[in-house]
Amino acid sequence: MKESRYRIYSQYLKEKYGEKIYKIPINLPVTCPNRDGILGRGGCIFCGEEGAGFENLASSISVKDQLNKNIEYIQKKYKAKKFIAYFQNFTNTYLPLEQFKEYIYASCQENVVEISISTRPDCVNDKYLAFLNEVKEEKNINICIELGLQSVNYHTLRKINRGHSLAEFIDAIIRIKKYGFDSCVHMILNLPWDEKEDVIEGAKIISALGVEQVKLHSLYILKNTVIGRMYENNEFKIISLEEYVDRVVTFLEYLDPNIVIQRLVGRAPKENTLFCNWDTSWWKIKDHIDEKMEKLDSFQGKKFMYLNGKALMHIKNP
Ligand code: SF4
């Protein structure tokens, strides 16, 4: 098999756990402070009613049942033995601590090797992290916190109504690192207000903070969202597929080669979308990225030489 030009998540998991690992989505009955009125109403301008977890089971089903129903299916199909319990949808730490504890404990079982929790940077708190650390030590289960950031440009963050700026993200990563948990950062590389320069800065900030994993998304535009209405009124343009591929390749070149890549392209069901992946399947876009990297002899980390006093490089024995 040809060696990959970036660090692939499935291979990383195999190296870490010694076998193939599957991520099992769990859907909690939670919302988000950016939707319920605490920070804002309606949420980020691209967020739909279902959040990110359109593949999930209903949140009314208990954590254990969701986990085991999905495990049963995956086990039969792929003969898998170990799993990651993935609290995927909305903001999974936006809960009273006791309730959060209950849900997390419900996901701890022998075949679960890792718990992955999606949340917002402004919903990361020391008390919740300290509890997760107890889980890690008592149950021998690894923890990964997945943070939506989407852009490092704080003007764009305001335009997309994130309800937080870059500072809250930096704070969250520093706190997560104190406990030695992994973090995964979600970025959208084709937000209409971001330039290629923002994408490069994103890769540099994520690398400088020592984040462990990234998940890249291409923006999909859902009907009945603020961005959907803006799209229908021609208030912005979406970059071409070629440009998206170029941004992904550039992002990877600036990224620390140790960072694991969970995903390069967003995936969404076509129904209900006004725009989704240039009407091209995600795997074709991924192939396109691979081909471009091959052609340019590009690889993750090719331009990763900007940390640790870059300007001193030309001085002998700095
Ligand atoms: S933070 Fe996530 S769940 Fe909350 S509004 Fe934004 S996209 Fe939706």
Which residue range(s) make up the domain with 83?
9-302
Q: How far is the CA of 284 from the centre of ligand 1 (A)?
A: 28
Residue-wise pLDDT for 247-279, tens only, equals 999 999 999 999 999 999 998 777 889 999 999
Give me the residue label for tokens 């599957």: 22
Is residue 17 assigned to a domain?
Answer: yes
Q: Which residue has the least CA distance to atom 8 on ligand 1?
A: 47
Check residue 159 and give its pLDDT: 96
Instruction: Let me know if residue 211 belongs to a domain.
Output: yes
- Which carries the bigger pLDDT value, residue 232 or residue 53? 232
Mean pLDDT, residues 120-126: 97
- pLDDT of 208 over the 80 cut: yes
When pLDDT is averaged across residues 9-16 and rounded to a whole number, the result is: 97
Counting beta carbons within 10 angstroms of the beta carbon of residue 270, is it exposed (0 to 12), middle (13 to 18) or buried (19 or more)?
Answer: exposed
Whether residue 55 has pLDDT greater than 70: no
Kindly state the average pLDDT of the residues 59-85: 93
Give pLDDT, residue 50: 63
Rounded mean pLDDT, 9-21: 96
Assess whether pLDDT exceeds 70 at residue 51: no
144 close to ligand 1 (CB < 6 Angstrom): no
What is the count of structural domains for the chain? 1
If you ran DSSP here, which 8-state letter would residue 297 be given?
T
314 or 94: whose pLDDT is higher? 94
The verdict on the CB of residue 51 being under 6 Å from ligand 1 is yes
pLDDT at position 41, please? 81
Note the pLDDT tens digit of each residue in 112-122: 999 999 999 99
Judge whether 4 lies within some domain. no
Residue 107 covered by a domain: yes
Q: Is 26 in the pocket of ligand 1 (CB under 6 A)?
A: no
Domain-embedded: residue 74: yes
Report the CATH number that the domain containing residue 242 is assigned in CATH.
Answer: 3.20.20.70
Q: Model confidence at 3, in pLDDT bands (50, 70, 90)?
A: confident
In tens, the pLDDT along 134-173 reads: 999 999 999 999 999 999 999 999 999 999 999 999 999 9
In angstroms, what CA-CA distances link 8 with 168, 214, 260, 306?
Answer: 28, 10, 6, 23
Centre of ligand 1 from the C-alpha of residue 117, in Å: 14
Q: Of the residues 38, 88, 90, 122, which should be mutated to test ligand 1's pocket, given the most ligand atoms within 8 Å of the CB?
A: 90
Tell me the average pLDDT across 73-78: 90
Ligand 1 atom with least separation from CA of 42: 5
What is the share, in percent, of the chain residues with pLDDT greater than 90?
Answer: 85
Torsion sign across C-alpha atoms 164, 26, 183, 255: negative
SS3 260: strand
Nearest 5°: CA angle at 129, between 125 and 130?
A: 115
Out of 220-234, 265-279, 286-300, pick the least confident.
265-279
Establish if 2 belongs to a structural domain: no
